Amino acid sequence: MLERNKYSFIKVMIRMYTFIKEYKLLITIYMILSVLNIGVNLFLANLINESINSAINLDKNKLYSYTFQMAVIIIVGLFITYFSTLSYGIFKTRVMLDVRKSAIAHLEKLPLSFMEKNHSGDIISRFTNDISSVQTFIGDDLFKTLIQLISVIFTSIYLIAINLKLFIATFIVIPPALFMINVISKPMEKYFKQASRNLGQANSIVQDSYGGIFIVKAFNLEKLFQDKYLEVIKNGLKYNIKGVHRLKFIPPFNIILRSTPFAICLIYGAYLSINKEISTGQLLSFTYLMGNIVWTFAFLPSTISSLINAIGASERFFEVLDTSTEREDGKPFESLDTKNSISFKNVSFSYNEGTNILKELSFDIKKDSKIALVGASGCGKSTVLKLIASFYNIQSGNIEFFENNSKEWSLNHIRSKISYVSQDTYLFPGSILDNILVGNLHAAKEEVIKAARIANAHEFILELPQGYDTMVGERGIKLSGGQRQRISIARAVLKNAPIILLDEATSALDTLSEAVIQESLEKVMEGKTAIIVAHRLSSIKHVDEILVMDNGCIVERGKHENLVKNNGLYSKLYAKQFNDYDIQESI
């Protein structure tokens, strides 16, 4: 599972800065224009003061002059507001794009071990719901809150200059109200974070139910999944209710923040005006400007709530971004003219700390040879293929490709030399053509058809309603198992890599489909180094060499005929399968 780290507000800000720093110019323009807008507002307040005093003193010329200045400053303010909104809108759009680009780029570089340890539904939740909260905070709340803070500071200085006593009296209720709001809202972070975590679990259950819908229906598991989903949702609802329960205590203090300052200002301001300590114009100017402060603090609870949600969501999102990716170093080796294609040298490997799956495994695979790996389930056959494809890092030893240390190769280059065909064939929800092109995105249509012919797929594709443009559905659900497998083989053909890995590519097929697929595989393996993990030993009789594995080690190796005569593990496995096959045939 993902390691959970505590993310403070400062740490969240530092992490968010990585997305913001590319747009310093836009932010600078926005901040300058916003500060100018604050200045426009203060200047407008001063004009209100002067206009009221001119009206009281019956000075028409000054009143007309101030009225004209007010019109000009309002128009200037409109232009400033337009360009500040434009610059901020561009910034927000680009940052949102960068956050999502960074997320998907990082996700694709994560090691296979990460995918296996964390449920895809939870990861999807982190990259949808949680990332939206992060985007909203960066794109909407962060700089607007900062501008509001600057506005409060400058406005406070102006109001203090008008009358310090009125300023203190007006805003004396704000500090205690903010203190109480902080006390009430402090536990909300953990509540909303837990609610977000439960939402990820709920998404995982939905994905499991949808992905395994045939099993769910066949085994009448609908009630089980509904109960699991409701349990997680109720648990998340419990934390949401705790957060909402806290929120319900905030509105009274919000009312205090919104209403009390205005009441104090009007009553006490009128008293000061009667005593000639403040002019009527100053009082109206004070009342006009105090809204900047009052409404900023009035909306502070919702800002705090948004901040708390953003920190909770950011923690879950950054947990993924902080996960180490696959290495991106290494260089390509173009020279493939070597004796051996692959060499394992004392390789040990364990998925988790504990017992090694592979134990100081050593063997060489000659170039263009056909090698089969056999053994009981769990002996490490498929693990060998995953290590060849560099899905995992080995604990000790070394793997060589074309007599070059794999640690010096770039992962992209290693994988460019390998075609992988597994039992669990995955097709993307596009057309057949798109799925075959996965092997070589730049291939022409004629090359795709040629690959499909080699894979014995061309004929059945032409029989489909739209031929190569036929949509296969999610995970290729519209095609049979044999058809999906032939599409998988076709894209391996199109890739034309010098090494091909076959991980029990025919074990889940019926006898007729297996025969067709086996014929396709024979064509694919021509002139290539092939490593075959096989469950059905009858399908590997003609390979160059068979490596028999047991408990992470190679215990036998040789051709089929010799291994059968040795009366070792292979002989026992073959005899058992042969007898089982005879029994099935007689039935």
**C-beta separation of 447 from 435 below 8 A:** no
For residue 543, the model assigns a pLDDT of: 83
Q: 3-state DSSP: the chain helix, strand, coil percent, rounded to 5?
A: 65, 10, 25
4 within some domain:
no
- My answer on whether 394 and 377 are in the same domain is yes
pLDDT for 337 beyond 70? yes
CA separation (Å) from 535 to 314, 509, 532, 551, 577? Answer: 46, 12, 10, 16, 9
- My answer on whether 122 and 240 are in the same domain is yes
pLDDT for 581 beyond 60? no
pLDDT band at 498 (very low <50, low <70, confident <90, very high): confident
501: left (phi over 0), alpha (psi -120 to 50) or beta: beta
For residue 473, the model assigns a pLDDT of: 77
Give the mean pLDDT of 208-223.
61
- My answer on whether 387 and 434 are in the same domain is no
- My answer on whether 431 and 537 are in the same domain is no
- My answer on whether 168 and 77 are in the same domain is yes
pLDDT for 565 beyond 70? yes
Q: Among residues 498, 326, 492, which one has the least CA distance to residue 402?
A: 498
For residue 313, the model assigns a pLDDT of: 72
pLDDT for 157 beyond 60? yes
For residue 244, the model assigns a pLDDT of: 61
CATH number of the domain within which 441 lies: 3.40.50.300
* Ranges 116-130, 458-472, 491-505: which has the least confidence: 116-130
**C-beta separation of 434 from 414 below 8 A:** no
- Name the domain count of the chain: 3
Give the mean pLDDT of 182-196.
64
**C-beta separation of 163 from 277 below 8 A:** yes
410 within some domain:
yes
182 within some domain:
yes
Rounded to whole angstroms, the Cα distance separating 577 from 587 reads 15
What digits encode the pLDDT tens for the residues 444-473? 888 888 888 888 888 888 888 888 888 887
pLDDT for 5 beyond 60? no
- My answer on whether 153 and 302 are in the same domain is yes
527 within some domain:
yes
What is this structure's pTM? Answer: 0.64
354 within some domain:
yes
Pair type for strands 396-401 and 340-349: antiparallel
- Domain that residue 345 falls in: 335-417+497-587
**C-beta separation of 539 from 509 below 8 A:** no
pLDDT band at 79 (very low <50, low <70, confident <90, very high): very high
315 within some domain:
yes
Mean pLDDT of the chain: 78
Give the mean pLDDT of 296-302.
71
- My answer on whether 113 and 57 are in the same domain is yes
- My answer on whether 509 and 490 are in the same domain is no
Give the mean pLDDT of 82-101.
84
pLDDT band at 220 (very low <50, low <70, confident <90, very high): low
pLDDT for 307 beyond 80? no
- My answer on whether 62 and 124 are in the same domain is yes
Which residue type does 94 have?
A: R
- My answer on whether 284 and 363 are in the same domain is no
* Ranges 232-246, 283-297, 378-392, 418-432: which has the least confidence: 232-246
**C-beta separation of 328 from 109 below 8 A:** yes
327 within some domain:
no
pLDDT for 161 beyond 80? yes
What digits encode the pLDDT tens for the residues 344-357? 899 888 887 667 78
> What's the DSSP call for residue 409?
B
CA separation (Å) from 242 to 157, 193, 236, 245, 394? Answer: 40, 12, 10, 5, 47
Task: Name the residue with higher pLDDT: 333 or 368.
Answer: 368
CATH number of the domain within which 131 lies: 1.20.1560.10
- My answer on whether 206 and 316 are in the same domain is yes
Of the residues 495, 524, 540, the one at which a domain ends: 495
Give the mean pLDDT of 409-428.
82
Q: Six-digit token pair at 336?
A: 């493939």
What number of CA atoms fall less than 13 Å from residue 465's CA on the CB side? 6
pLDDT for 585 beyond 50? no
Rounded to whole angstroms, the Cα distance separating 250 from 261 reads 17
2 within some domain:
no
What digits encode the pLDDT tens for the residues 21-67? 888 888 889 889 989 998 888 888 888 888 888 888 787 888 888 88
Of the residues 263, 298, 321, the one at which a domain ends: 321
Of the residues 289, 321, 353, the one at which a domain ends: 321
- My answer on whether 43 and 65 are in the same domain is yes
pLDDT for 582 beyond 50? no
Residue 284: count of CB within 10 angstroms of its CB: 18
